[in-house]
Amino acid sequence: MADLETFRQETRAWLEQNCPQSMRSPFKSDKDVCWGGRNWTFQSDDQRLWLERMAERGWTAPDWPAEYGGGGLSREEHKILREELARIQARPPLNSFGVWMIGPALLKFGSEELKRQHLPPIVRGEIRWCQGYSEPGAGSDLAGLQTRAVDQGDHFIVNGQKVWTSYADKADWMFALVRTNPDVKKQEGISLVLFDMTTPGVSTRPIKLISGSSPFCETFLDDVRVEKNQVVGEVDKGWGIAKYLLTHEREMIGGFGRTAAGQKTLPRQAVDQLGLSEGQLADSFMRADIARWDLDAKAFEVTVERVTDEARSGQGVGHASAMLKYYGTELNKRRQELLLGIYGSEAMVWEGEAWQEGALPRQWLRSKGNSIEGGTSEIQLNVIAKNILGLG
Amino acid sequence: MQRLVLNEEQQMLKDSAAGFLKDSGSVSQLRELRDNRDATGFSSSLWQQMVEMGLAGTLIPEAFGGSEFGHVGMGQISEQAGRNLTAAPLFASGILGVSALLLAGNDDQKKQLEAIAAGQLLTALAIDEQGRHAPNRVSTTASPDGDGYVLDGQKTFVVDGHVANTLIVSARTAGEADDEAGITLFLVDAKASGVEVERTIMVDSHNAAVVRLSGVRVPASAVLGAVDQGYSVLTSLLDIGNAHLAAELLGIAEESFEQTMNYIRDRKQFGVTVASFQALQHRAAHLFSELELLKSVVLKALRSLDEQADNTSAMVSLAKAKACEIAQLATNEGVQMHGGVGMTDEYDIGLFMKRARPLQQLFGDYAYHADRYARLNGY
């Protein structure tokens, strides 16, 4: 325990020295988020410094092994780092599908060669990744994907189309599910492959969403050459890795909408907007709606704590991620609808600096996708019913 | 911070309570008690066994003959009592009576803890005076009389009041009808002159009582805690009671859910099991998710009580509110998914629905605790 206390003191001192002041406040808008990559333009010197310094210590991926550039921290040390970062309200130095998704998959399933090639640039924020899963004809039925990879001896030639590829237009590399064998059960002919987005034959087109933004793209793959050594795990065995990654993604999306440190809670926003009457929110119907949401949100937060603790103690049900994804995204949608009521017509304004360029209606619209992406709510309910409850 | 999981000792308590109550305090026992119109409404041999196993003393310090396993420990027993619809005076005496004495009792009064642990003393909490729970709404009066008091008034929904030796009564010593200040708690001998106890058999075949107090004289030593200051004790006591009611409702909801899942996996219509219909699957999966949330908040509330956390009251109201909501959903869905047989007395699911509702009402339902949670959070 003494070692951990030393670690905490050293971490605190290092952060005090190295975290620029302007990086010690919550993000004001999406523009403040650092995604890194070859084409990244840093918003400020501080943003660049903060990424470089954290990456230097491997603290953009604190629990990855040091030999691949990670921080090599134990679970306890990682927790302390998170606490110390939260203490000074430090911004995440890097948002990265590399750190969140393909990195963990490579650590678990990748060859030594792939780990050495791909993990260190992820840690340093030099390579930005995107995920090629869904296709026009394969959404909820993901295993029905048709993008075809034909064996050419030392490489594959890939043809097909991906859709809902987050930030494909800004990404440097893609991890994609492709069909390597069309003659077997659909789950058994899928491989997970990696390729550079500048490879000839790769093109992207952003999709404009109801929220006005275009975080997703269509990605077209025309005779794209993928080297054989860029297959993660075994050929035709990609579905298992895909499911592992989907679990990761569900947990991530299920966490959307939780009140971040320093952010005002929903009831607090309601009190500020509507005022109190005899100690109670002035609008009694809205108060009841907000309390109902607040109870569920707090219960969800406690459940995340319990499920996490159970996993650490080696207990608990599998497939908890389906439940968390389902419930967390539905909660966030309810929260966004309540915010519209709290702010009224102010939440209807689409443009203008005084209204943060329509942040409220845009995030309300964005939230509708939470229960669709990463497996719809209905798919999560199917997973629970079939895999946990044995109904079928 | 301690992990939000059961420790080994608590897990053992849960397992042993599960096995014991399934064998000795089960639904079939409740049916027998009901059908035979049993004079007490619970099995005295079951209670004797629970005492011998030390269950009655789970919350009692070792110095008074208990095991002091704490609320997380006792909560495991409450949950199993919910799963089995167990009829026993454990809640009224082993939880409410014990906690009242621990919270406010003087040294003399605390000696009664030994009698509770030994199964020689049964208590009941007499606080509500109207159908809807309102612990501040006290019009029962306690007027000074010599060196004691005279109590007059009427209490309702006094759980296990029909068998209690000692009643814990809230009465007004000062203030107006709804004031929180001016309420005093008294330990009243159920056999005292002027005490009339009328058993009320409830919808769940468990028992409560209406208690009428007419010129009941009690000595000054009957005061539990400080005069006029009873409400704060009552608040802590009700937090304890509600956390265990939430645990019991969790047990009811879990058991209803499991029995219903078993039923729909077996029941065939149109040549297939009804579990194969997505209309039922999605409702079941939603209910599963809600049950996972309920498990978390019940454990959190019990843990908060043991740690005497600052936000204990909010965590208890969160747990009780969710428990009311989800036990209601689980039992209603249970009856509906059972179809016609869900309406029969032969199947147990109806008994679970009937047991859930009085526990939801007891010490405040969903609306009561959602409102309290909001107030505790400053809105």
Single out the residue of B369, B64, B359 nearest to residue B202, CA to CA.
B359
Strands A155-166 and A216-227: antiparallel
CA atoms within 13 A on the CB side of A8: 13
What phi, psi does A153 have (nearest 5°)?
90, -90
Contacts A–B by Cβ distance under 8 A: 123
Single out the residue of B244, B285, B225, B204 nearest to residue B93, CA to CA.
B244
Distance between CA atoms of residues B317 and A231, nearest Å:
52
Q: What is the pLDDT of residue A317?
A: 56
Local confidence band at B372 (pLDDT 50, 70, 90 cut-offs) = very high
Q: Which of A281, A291, A391 sits opposite B265 (nearest CB)?
A: A391
Sign of torsion over alpha carbons A268, A272, A274, A276: positive
Please, where in chain B does CATH 1.20.140.10 lie?
Answer: 231-376
Of A77-91, A359-373, B312-326, which one has max mean pLDDT? Answer: B312-326
Q: Is residue A298 over pLDDT 90?
A: yes
**ipTM score of complex:** 0.95
Query: B222 to chain A, minimum CA–CA distance in Å?
Result: 37
Q: If you write DSSP's letter for every residue of A70-94 in order, what string do you get? A: S----HHHHHHHHHHHHHTTPPPS-
**CATH number of the B124-229 domain:** 2.40.110.10
Q: Is residue A117 over pLDDT 90?
A: yes
Where do the structural domains in chain A lie, given as residue ranges? 2-95, 129-236, 255-388
Local confidence band at A314 (pLDDT 50, 70, 90 cut-offs) = confident
CA distances from A258 to A299, A325, A336, A367, B318 (A): 12, 12, 12, 12, 18
pLDDT tens, residue by residue, A169-219: 999 999 999 999 999 999 999 999 999 999 999 999 999 999 998 889 999
Distance between CA atoms of residues B292 and A307, nearest Å:
9
Residues of A in contact with B377 (CB under 8 A): 267, 294
Are residues B285 and A299, on separate chains, in Cβ contact within 8 Å?
A: no
Nearest CA in chain B to A275: B379
Q: Which residue has the tokens 């159920």?
A: B190
For residue A383, the surrounding DSSP H or E stretch is helix A377-383
Strands B166-172 and B123-126: parallel
Query: B370 to chain A, minimum CA–CA distance in Å?
Result: 6
Single out the residue of B94, B11, B78, B369 nearest to residue B251, CA to CA.
B78
Q: Is residue A2 over pLDDT 80?
A: no
Between B244 and A313, the more confident residue is B244
Mutate to test the interface with A, among B3, B6, B292, B329 (most CBs of A within 10 A): B292
Are residues B379 and A290, on separate chains, in Cβ contact within 8 Å?
A: yes
Query: A383 to chain B, minimum CA–CA distance in Å?
Result: 9
Look at the domain A129-236 and name its fold. Answer: Butyryl-CoA Dehydrogenase, subunit A; domain 2 (2.40.110)
**CATH number of the B231-376 domain:** 1.20.140.10
Overall average pLDDT of the A133-141 stretch: 91
Q: What is the pLDDT of residue B177?
A: 87
Q: Is there a common fold for A2-95 and A255-388? A: no
Q: Which of A268, A291, A302 sits opposite B296 (nearest CB)?
A: A302
Torsion of CA B20, B25, B26, B29, to 10 degrees: 150
Local confidence band at B182 (pLDDT 50, 70, 90 cut-offs) = very high
Are residues B371 and A290, on separate chains, in Cβ contact within 8 Å?
A: no
Overall average pLDDT of the B305-327 stretch: 98
Are residues B379 and A280, on separate chains, in Cβ contact within 8 Å?
A: yes
Are residues B377 and A294, on separate chains, in Cβ contact within 8 Å?
A: yes
Q: Which of B275, B296, B371 sits opposite A391 (nearest CB)?
A: B275
Local confidence band at A318 (pLDDT 50, 70, 90 cut-offs) = low
Class at the top of the CATH hierarchy for domain A2-95: mainly alpha
Q: Is B171 on the interface with A (CB under 8 A)?
A: no
Distance between CA atoms of residues A81 and A85, nearest Å:
6
> Could you give the percent of chain B with pLDDT greater than 70?
100
The SS3 call for residue A143 is helix
Are residues B4 and A388, on separate chains, in Cβ contact within 8 Å?
A: no
Q: Which residue has the tokens 């109190």?
A: A276
Residue B151, token pair as written in the block: 């109590």
Query: B228 to chain A, minimum CA–CA distance in Å?
Result: 25
Query: B301 to chain A, minimum CA–CA distance in Å?
Result: 10
Q: What is the largest CA-CA distance in chain B?
A: 79
Residues of A in contact with B295 (CB under 8 A): 303, 306
Q: What is the pLDDT of residue A301?
A: 93
Overall average pLDDT of the A218-235 stretch: 97
Strand partners, A159: A148
Are residues A306 and B5, on separate chains, in Cβ contact within 8 Å?
A: yes
Strands A173-179 and A190-196: antiparallel
Query: B302 to chain A, minimum CA–CA distance in Å?
Result: 13
Q: What is the pLDDT of residue A248?
A: 72
Please, where in chain B does CATH 2.40.110.10 lie?
Answer: 124-229
Local confidence band at A246 (pLDDT 50, 70, 90 cut-offs) = confident
CA distances from A245 to A98, A170, A229, A238, B275 (A): 12, 21, 20, 10, 29
Sign of torsion over alpha carbons A96, A102, A105, A109: negative
Give the count of beta carbons closer than 10 Å to the beta carbon of residue B52: 11
Sign of torsion over alpha carbons B251, B254, B260, B262: negative
Residues of B in contact with A283 (CB under 8 A): none
**CATH number of the A255-388 domain:** 1.20.140.10
**Superfamily grouping for domain B8-121:** Acyl-CoA dehydrogenase/oxidase, N-terminal domain (1.10.540.10)
Are residues A389 and B284, on separate chains, in Cβ contact within 8 Å?
A: yes
